[in-house]
């Protein structure tokens, strides 16, 4: 472990609070995180080793090494050679460290390289590279070597370092030079195939090898045109997007096809990189040109400062690209900047998908019963779509308006539940199906016939994805949640009550297993309210008051959870104002949404309200008059009775100016009324302009 790594670890853990450590680690790029993880692992091993008794130290060390192999794959003791002779391998690593391209390579990566490196003896009178002969790999020589070019009898150049990397990286078979050591010496050799693989996979090697090959070509008598061809071949062989930038910030003649594909331009030569990547971001643009000025000014520059100014990552043409920079110098001055592009898109997508799945699992584990209800609801929506396909879509027949309205109610409820469990893709496809049914209701099925099957297949796909999370639950749990179960004792009691024809006892026993806390009615309401408020830029305090010990039928709780969800969403979307409007009205910036549930004389009472804007009755009437599909006679009746609020519950009415995934379809409030009618329930709305609205609901509990 290097002093720099120890300093880095100390800085990160200076404030040991998890949020502080996480924040600092998130600032690191992937390579820095990997290097830090390995350094911490090494440090942990040393600390643990120092604390153990000698008798168990050896066993612990073996365990630690095994764990290390699982995590990093390249730990010491990776093979028999290393286990048998640690000193030999350490010497090999020290030797590799003296080669400049490996100077900053981690021990883990050096061990990988060392596995393929051979130590060889070189003779003063024997060439290890010969012009027009096959280049079998790359040589690393510390001592002086004479390089003969174009059949020259005298060494054109005397140097040490790397030899053969140019042909390997450009896929040339034969050597263009002859290389002979000035004295007998030792060297290192790595086969060409392995060298190319390592250059592509080991962080930082690409830039160093590229710079070495380009510098070698510049010092030789290779013409400029040939140098450009050589550089292009290296870049193509690296197999990644890469290009060079000149002092004007323009891309040079050397760039890879992959880079052109990433940047979306067929010919990159002469195109300003900034125009393609970050022209609209003034800060990034300013820092980029400041960095170029520092690099090409001919003066000494602070390498760290320049790297801080250059953009590390760009998003372009749906690709997330990480940028790596190498400064090509001549006579101590930068003449070009080599940029390597690393596509992080797939990696980020996988990380995003992993996080999304984790969120779903977390929500499911917090409310397993609710999750099962949501799956059942989604399955019902799928069955309904299957039924619709058979009854109407296959025959290209227009479904009745009332049938469409029933479909919309079902889909709307299913969408709300799927959103509660972070199943955003399922929610989105249901949202799309809602749009489709509204279209065919307005335009006819023939106008949008071809679109349905794509939506239907996507619904099936997302439903299967949602169902896959059931695998995380045991079968026993699922059985309990999907139906009523009894212990042996409870079943015996039930059998005896049935035998005695004690209907009251039988009913009580069944209901005791099929009743749930009234809290199930508002499952996930608070979380959903917080999410909607954040989405709409509002601040909401969700307050709950539920009678202690109150229970309701499981099926009732499930139904009310879905249907009444439209009411609290209405409070967030249309009731509570934005912080700015509330402040201007002399209110607290935080809006209040409240829910109260209690039982009175075998009637379940629910109160859902807010302290928001209240109902603008004139505006509601104006909107309703503009909707010819609404029953205007019924609206006249509501107005005459001063019950303007009832207009909100008419099928197809919506006060939203735009259709969103929150509101705008005229389905939600209609679904509430439909559910309450089925339960023989009632609803009344009390509202005051500028002060808020309250929904009061009564539902008879005949069997509770």
Which contiguous run of DSSP H or E holds residue 463? Answer: helix 452-467
- Mean pLDDT of all residues in 214-220: 59
Sheet bearing 682-688, strands edge to edge: 540-546, 591-600, 603-610, 692-700, 682-688
For residue 384, the tally of other CB atoms under 10 A from its CB is 16
What pLDDT, on the 0 to 100 scale, is given for residue 535? 85
- What six digits make up the tokens of 105? 């390579």
Judged against a pLDDT cut of 90, whether residue 540 lies above it is answered with yes
Directed axis angle between helix 368-388 and helix 345-366, to 10°?
A: 110
Whether residue 31 has pLDDT greater than 70: no
Asked if residue 384 has pLDDT above 80, the reply is yes
For the stretch 174-185, pLDDT in tens is 888 899 999 999
Would you say residue 137 has pLDDT above 80? Answer: yes
Residue-wise pLDDT for 419-453, tens only, equals 888 888 899 999 999 889 988 888 888 888 888 88
- Write the DSSP string, 462-495: HHHHHHGGGGGS-HHHHHHHHS----HHHHHHHH
- Contact status, residue 539 vs residue 578, Cβ threshold 8 Å: no
For the chain, the residue count is 704
pLDDT band for position 95 (50/70/90)?
Answer: confident
Question: What is the predicted pLDDT for the residue at 496?
Answer: 75
Please report how the helices 668-678 and 401-420 are oriented relative to each other, as an axis angle in degrees rounded to 10: 100
**pLDDT tens track for 622-643:** 988 888 888 888 999 999 998 9
CA distance linking residue 453 with residue 126, whole number of Å: 74
Residue range 528-538: average pLDDT? 88
Place of tokens 């692992």: 41
pLDDT higher for 507 or 245?
A: 245
pLDDT at 342 over 60: yes
Q: What is the DSSP string of 317-383?
A: TTEEEEEEEEEEEETTEEEEEEEEEEE-HHHHHHHHHHHHHHHHHHHHHH-HHHHHHHHHHHHHHHH
The answer to whether 210 and 199 are in contact (CB under 8 A) is no
What is the C-alpha separation between 309 and 290, in angstroms, rounded? 7
pLDDT for 271 equals 92
* Residue 429 or 357, more confident: 429
Whole-angstrom distance, CA of residue 490 vs CA of residue 513: 10
Average pLDDT of the residues in 320-345: 82
pTM beyond 0.85: the answer is no
Question: Looking at residue 79, what is its pLDDT?
Answer: 44
The SS3 of residue 434 is helix
How far is the C-alpha of 107 from the C-alpha of 61, rounded, in Å? 18
Q: Distance between CA atoms of 479 and 469, rounded to whole angstroms?
A: 15
Task: Walk me through the domains of the chain, giving residue ranges and CATH numbers.
Answer: 3-72 (no CATH), 82-239 (2.60.120.10), 348-482 (1.20.120), 497-700 (3.30.565.10)
Is residue 592 scored above 90 in pLDDT? Answer: yes
Instruction: Taking residues 251-279, report their average pLDDT.
Output: 87
Residue 125, pLDDT > 60, answer yes
Residues 477-489: what's their mean pLDDT?
52
Q: 483: pLDDT confidence band, cut at 50, 70 and 90?
A: very low
Cα 100 from chain centre: 38
pLDDT band at 243, cuts 50/70/90?
Answer: confident
| Local structure of 139: helix, strand or coil | strand
pLDDT for 216 equals 63
Q: Is the pLDDT of residue 586 over 60?
A: yes
Q: Which of 549, 588, 566, 537 is nearest to 704 (CA)?
A: 549
Average pLDDT, the chain: 79
Give dist(CA 396, CA 389) in Å, integer.
Answer: 9
- For residue 632, what are the contacts with CB-CB under 8 A and spacing of at least 6? 624, 625
Burial of 216 (0-12, 13-18, 19+ CB in 10 A): buried
Best CA proximity match to 180, nearest among 194, 204, 198, 160: 160
Cα separation of 384 and 411, whole Å?
Answer: 9
Average pLDDT value for residue range 249-260:
86
DSSP E strands in 492-621: the ranges are 515-517, 540-546, 551-553, 591-600, 603-610
541-545, Cβ contacts within 8 angstroms, sequence gap of 24 or more: 541/590, 541/591, 541/592, 541/593, 542/568, 542/593, 542/594, 542/595, 543/592, 543/593, 543/594, 543/595, 544/594, 544/595, 545/594, 545/595, 545/596, 545/597
Out of 349-353, 434-438, 482-486, 590-594, pick the least confident: 482-486
Nearest CA to 610 out of 695, 492, 693 is that of 693
Q: Which helix (H) or strand (E) holds 190?
A: strand 185-191
pLDDT bucket at 659, cuts 50 / 70 / 90:
very low
pLDDT score of 144 more than 80: yes
Q: Is pLDDT above 50 for 238?
A: yes
pLDDT on residue 523: 82
Q: Could you give the C-alpha distances from 618 to 486, 624, 655, in angstroms and in order?
A: 56, 10, 12
The one-character DSSP state at 216 is: H
CA distance 329 to 215: 8
Is the confidence at residue 575, as pLDDT, over 50?
yes
DSSP letter at 128 equals: S
Axis crossing angle, helix 224-238 with helix 192-201, rounded to the nearest 10: 70
pLDDT digits (tens, 9 = 90+) for 668-692: 688 888 889 889 999 999 999 999 9
Confidence at residue 486, expressed as pLDDT on a 0 to 100 scale: 53
pLDDT above 80 (res 550): yes
CA dist 592 and 630 (Å) reads: 32
Strand partners of residue 599: 604
Instruction: Measure the CA–CA gap between 570 and 585, rounded to whole angstroms.
Output: 20
Q: Which two tokens stand for residue 502?
A: 């004690």
Q: Note the pLDDT tens digit of each residue in 56-93.
A: 555 555 555 555 544 444 433 344 445 456 677 777 77
Per-residue pLDDT averaged across 351-373, rounded? Answer: 78
Contact 588, 582 (CB under 8 A): yes
Going 39 to 43 to 49 to 52, the CA torsion angle's sign is: negative
List, in order, residues 6 or more apart from 543 with CB less than 8 Å away. Answer: 592, 593, 594, 595
Task: Pick from 323-332, 372-381, 496-505, 692-701 the range whose average pLDDT is largest.
Answer: 692-701
Range among 128-132, 162-166, 370-374, 550-554 with highest mean pLDDT value? 128-132
Residue with tokens 């807010």: 610
Mean pLDDT confidence for 660-666? 43
């Amino acid at each position: 472990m290097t002093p720099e790594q120890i300093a880095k670890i100390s800085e990160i853990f200076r404030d040991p609070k998890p949020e502080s450590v996480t924040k600092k680690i998130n600032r690191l790029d992937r390579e820095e995180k990997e290097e830090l993880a390995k350094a911490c692992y090494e440090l942990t091993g040393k600390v643990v080793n120092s604390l153990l008794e000698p008798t168990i130290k050896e066993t612990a060390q073996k365990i630690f090494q095994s764990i290390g192999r699982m995590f990093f794959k390249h730990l010491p003791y990776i093979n028999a050679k290393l286990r048998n002779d640690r000193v030999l391998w350490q010497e090999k690593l020290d030797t590799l460290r003296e080669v400049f391209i490996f100077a900053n390579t981690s021990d883990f990566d050096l061990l990988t390289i060392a596995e393929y490196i051979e130590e060889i003896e070189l003779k003063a009178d024997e060439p290890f590279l010969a012009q027009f002969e096959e280049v079998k790999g790359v040589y690393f020589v510390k001592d002086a070597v004479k390089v003969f070019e174009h059949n020259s009898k005298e060494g054109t150049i005397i140097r040490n370092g790397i030899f053969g990397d140019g042909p390997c990286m450009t896929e040339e078979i034969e050597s263009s030079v002859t290389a002979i050591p000035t004295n007998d010496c030792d060297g290192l050799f790595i086969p060409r195939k392995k060298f190319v693989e390592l250059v592509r996979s080991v962080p930082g090697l690409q830039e160093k090898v590229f710079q070495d090959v380009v510098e070698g070509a510049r010092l030789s008598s290779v013409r400029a045109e040939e140098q450009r061809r050589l550089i292009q071949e290296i870049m193509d062989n690296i197999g990644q997007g890469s290009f060079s930038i000149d002092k004007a910030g323009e891309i040079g003649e050397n760039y890879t096809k992959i880079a052109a594909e990433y940047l979306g331009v067929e010919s990159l030569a002469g195109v300003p990189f900034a125009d393609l990547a970050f022209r609209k971001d003034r800060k990034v643009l300013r820092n980029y040109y400041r960095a170029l000025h520092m690099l090409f000014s001919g003066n000494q520059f602070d390498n760290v400062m320049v790297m801080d100014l250059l953009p590390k990552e760009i998003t372009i043409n749906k690709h997330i690209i990480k940028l790596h920079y190498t400064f090509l110098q001549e006579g101590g001055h930068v003449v070009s900047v080599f940029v390597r592009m690393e596509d992080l898109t797939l990696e980020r997508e996988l990380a995003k998908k992993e996080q999304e799945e984790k969120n779903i699992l977390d929500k499911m584990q917090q409310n397993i019963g609710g999750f099962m209800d949501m799956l059942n609801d989604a399955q019902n929506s799928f069955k309904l779509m299957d039924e619709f396909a058979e009854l109407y879509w296959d025959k290209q027949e227009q479904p009745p308006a009332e049938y469409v309205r029933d479909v919309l109610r079902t889909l709307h409820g299913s969408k709300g539940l799927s959103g509660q469990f972070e199943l955003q893709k399922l929610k989105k496809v249901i949202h799309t199906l809602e749009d489709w049914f509204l279209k065919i209701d307005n335009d006819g099925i023939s106008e949008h016939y071809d679109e349905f099957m794509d939506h239907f297949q996507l619904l099936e796909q997302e439903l299967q994805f949602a169902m896959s999370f059931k695998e995380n639950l045991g079968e026993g749990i699922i059985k309990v949640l999907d139906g009523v179960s009894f212990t042996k004792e409870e079943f015996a009691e039930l059998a005896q009550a049935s035998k005695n024809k004690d209907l009251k006892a039988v009913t009580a026993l069944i209901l005791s297993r099929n009743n749930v806390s009234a809290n199930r009615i508002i499952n996930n309401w608070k979380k959903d309210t917080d999410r909607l408020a954040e989405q709409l830029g509002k601040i909401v305090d969700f307050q709950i008051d539920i009678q202690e010990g109150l229970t309701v039928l499981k099926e009732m709780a499930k139904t009310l959870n879905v249907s009444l969800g439209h009411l609290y969403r209405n409070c967030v979307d249309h009731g509570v104002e934005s912080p700015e409007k509330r402040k201007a009205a002399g209110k607290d910036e935080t809006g209040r949404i409240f829910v109260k549930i209690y039982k009175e004389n075998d009637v379940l009472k629910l109160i859902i309200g807010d302290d928001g804007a209240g109902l603008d009755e004139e505006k509601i009437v104006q909107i309703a008059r503009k909707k010819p599909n609404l029953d205007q006679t019924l609206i006249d009746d509501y107005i005459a009775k001063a019950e303007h609020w009832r207009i909100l519950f008419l099928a197809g009415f919506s006060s939203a100016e735009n259709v969103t995934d929150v509101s705008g379809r005229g389905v939600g409030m209609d679904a509430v009324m439909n559910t309450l009618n089925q339960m023989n329930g009632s609803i009344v709305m009390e509202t005051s302009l500028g002060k808020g609205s309250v929904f009061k609901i009564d539902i008879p509990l005949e069997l509770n």
